[in-house]
Structure 1
Amino acid sequence: MFLWDLDPKGMAEVIAGAGLEGVEFWVETPWYWEGGRLEEGAEEVRRAFRGLKTTLHAPVMDLNPSSYNDLVCRAALEESLRAIDLAEVLGARVVTIHPGRRTARRPPRGAEREKLRRYLEASIDRGEEKGVDLALENLEPVPWNICAEPEEMGRFLDEYPLLGMTLDISHAVPPISRAISFLETLGGRIVNVHVSSTINGVRHLPAKDGSVDEVLTTLRDLGYGGPLTLELDDKKFPSTLSKDGKVGVLIRERRHLESVWG
């Protein structure tokens, strides 16, 4: 959500101003999503991000591959397949997808997990066809989410050897021990990391407060070499950030990560 209000050129300018090397493009960014998701729009994104290491996040709003409603499941799959096709156009190395949840706020059953399997199999097939790796993201630890805990994520990764993982640090904490468990048990499958902190239940806040440094140092010590994606929500800042203000926030986050990474 941090660059939510910008077009691709504006995004690239903020990224360059902050001294960052890459970008994760979220398909539901309004400029692209509400602009009709046209071929020329995809080409404009590709041009703006030339020279950047690019990943992509599949659509998740109003979508749920494990939904009680089969039409919602179908829409989630169709949108993910389109995102994988877009990743090929953008030269994105990894597409992050969500595992879904039980529609009723109750623990997921076998029915929801079986729907997720069908979604994963079709998505992995498309990824193989397009030369794109898929990464399943851990969700917030609430009872109705699938793959919010290391054990369940591990079972799905074991079942699908071609599937990677996106570790969302803010989703995994608190406690810190859950995030560390993801790293210690599944570190070899992690291909993307969303970096932010959770403070007093508020997620996707800046990591420069140091509260997730132990996660970052563990990641470093395990030899992780993939993207560190700063996932911040601009609406969780005290006031509306200007474009220059966003550059400043990202510079501070970058410097903190560099100080931790050593």
Structure 2
Amino acid sequence: MADIGVSSCMMWNAQLEEMFRILYENGIDEMELWAQHFQHRRFSVEEYVKLSALYPIKSCVHSYSWDLNLASMNEGIRQASVEEVKKAVRLAYDIGAIEVTVHPGRETMKGDRQIYLDYMRESLKQIMDYAGQYHIDISLEIMEKIPKEIFTSLEEMEKVTQGFPCFYTLDVAHCDSVEEVRHILKSASHLSKIHISNRKGNQLHTPLDKGDYDFTTLLKELEAAEIPIIIEGFDQDEKLSVLHENLEFIKKIGGKK
């Protein structure tokens, strides 16, 4: 059965030990630690490593992505974005994780798409060379279909990563249909994990039981792929209401061993 994990952003205002304890007590296998969350809350590597030993939960890292663009026309922004991803790679190494999730770049302005593909490949080479030094895997997330996003399909992702030993992350909320989810599951040979949350039309990352997708059946299909499944969302509520809503739903439909 697939491991089930939770994004740390669903516990934005929780203390680090509280995060570990809640996931452990609910039988969750893994935490995807957002690097921006880690930095913003001023968590320490030493405490994280100590808690990882106390509460045996696996970790992966989601790179910095807000305000960044790995394919930016602006060389300074592009290089700063690469350096932020490198910081996330080093964080993953320091806490004992083996993979970093990375948002690919996007267009600065509409125009020659090939320019942005070339910029993205330049950035990716730097990232892969650096990650290789620490034996950290890079998993590029297939993005939602909004203006200026380029890498919104498996085919576009495979085009830019040709020749690079990358993995891919399927985000169900970024897909427009269950058929698209199934296509990626069937066709992607380097899928490392699946992000799950629901969507209501254009509103993405809603709770699993509130949206266009019926996760009572879809989750079974996703679990059959036998790769890690990460519950995503963002919640600043100190009661962690969205997290608990999702965990209760998972338990109710028998989606957790």
- TM-score w.r.t. the length of structure 1 is 0.84
Contact 2:32 2:61 in 1 (8 A): yes
Superposition deviation, residue 241 in structure 1: 5.4
Aligned mates of 2:226, 2:161 — CA distance in 1? 19
Superposition deviation, residue 25 in structure 1: 0.3
Change (3 A) 1:163 1:257: farther
- Coordinate RMSD, CA, aligned: 2.3
Q: Classify the secondary structure of the residue corresponding to 2:199.
A: strand
Contact 2:17 2:51 in 1 (8 A): yes
Letter of the structure 1 residue corresponding to residue 186 of structure 2: E
Q: Classify the secondary structure of the residue corresponding to 1:116.
A: helix
Aligned mates of 2:223, 2:140 — CA distance in 1? 21
Aligned mates of 2:170, 2:101 — CA distance in 1? 10
Contact 1:102 1:108 in 2 (8 A): no
Q: 1:164 aligns with which of 158, 163, 167?
A: 167
Alignment of 1:56-205 (within 5 A): 56-104=61-109, 106=110, 109-160=113-164, 162-172=165-175, 174-186=176-188, 188-205=189-206
Change (3 A) 1:169 1:62: same
Structure 2 residues without counterparts, runs of 5 or longer: 1-8
Change (3 A) 1:36 1:16: closer
- The one-character-per-residue Cα deviations of 1:214-249 (angstroms, maximum 9, x if unpaired) are 65344334xx332211102226xxxx4514x35632
Contact 1:97 1:135 in 2 (8 A): yes
Letter of the structure 2 residue corresponding to residue 135 of structure 1: S
Contact 1:196 1:231 in 2 (8 A): yes
- The one-character-per-residue Cα deviations of 1:53-75 (angstroms, maximum 9, x if unpaired) are 11100000111101121111111
Aligned mates of 1:214, 1:11 — CA distance in 2? 28
Contact 1:14 1:247 in 2 (8 A): no
Aligned match of 2:39: 33
Letter of the structure 2 residue corresponding to residue 62 of structure 1: D
Letter of the structure 2 residue corresponding to residue 185 of structure 1: S
Change (3 A) 1:108 1:217: farther
Q: Classify the secondary structure of the residue corresponding to 1:68.
A: coil
Query: Identical aligned pairs, as a percentage?
Result: 23
Contact 2:207 2:246 in 1 (8 A): no
Superposition deviation, residue 28 in structure 1: 0.6
**Higher share of residues assigned helix:** 1
Structure 1 residues without counterparts, runs of 5 or longer: none
Change (3 A) 1:35 1:11: closer
Superposition deviation, residue 35 in structure 1: 5.4
Contact 2:139 2:167 in 1 (8 A): yes
Aligned match of 1:248: 244
Contact 1:108 1:144 in 2 (8 A): no
Aligned mates of 2:217, 2:21 — CA distance in 1? 31
Aligned mates of 2:231, 2:170 — CA distance in 1? 12
Could you tell which deviates more after superposition, 45-54 or 126-135?
Answer: 45-54
Letter of the structure 1 residue corresponding to residue 16 of structure 2: P
Q: Classify the secondary structure of the residue corresponding to 1:65.
A: coil
Superposition deviation, residue 107 in structure 1: 6.1
- RCO comparison, higher one (Cα < 8 Å, 6+): 2
Contact 1:170 1:203 in 2 (8 A): yes
Letter of the structure 2 residue corresponding to residue 179 of structure 1: V
Letter of the structure 1 residue corresponding to residue 32 of structure 2: E
Change (3 A) 1:115 1:157: closer
Report the number of matched residues: 245
Letter of the structure 2 residue corresponding to residue 207 of structure 1: L
Aligned mates of 1:114, 1:182 — CA distance in 2? 24
- TM-score w.r.t. the length of structure 2 is 0.86
Contact 2:207 2:242 in 1 (8 A): no
Contact 1:96 1:135 in 2 (8 A): yes
Moved over 4 A (4+): 212-215
Aligned mates of 1:22, 1:36 — CA distance in 2? 21
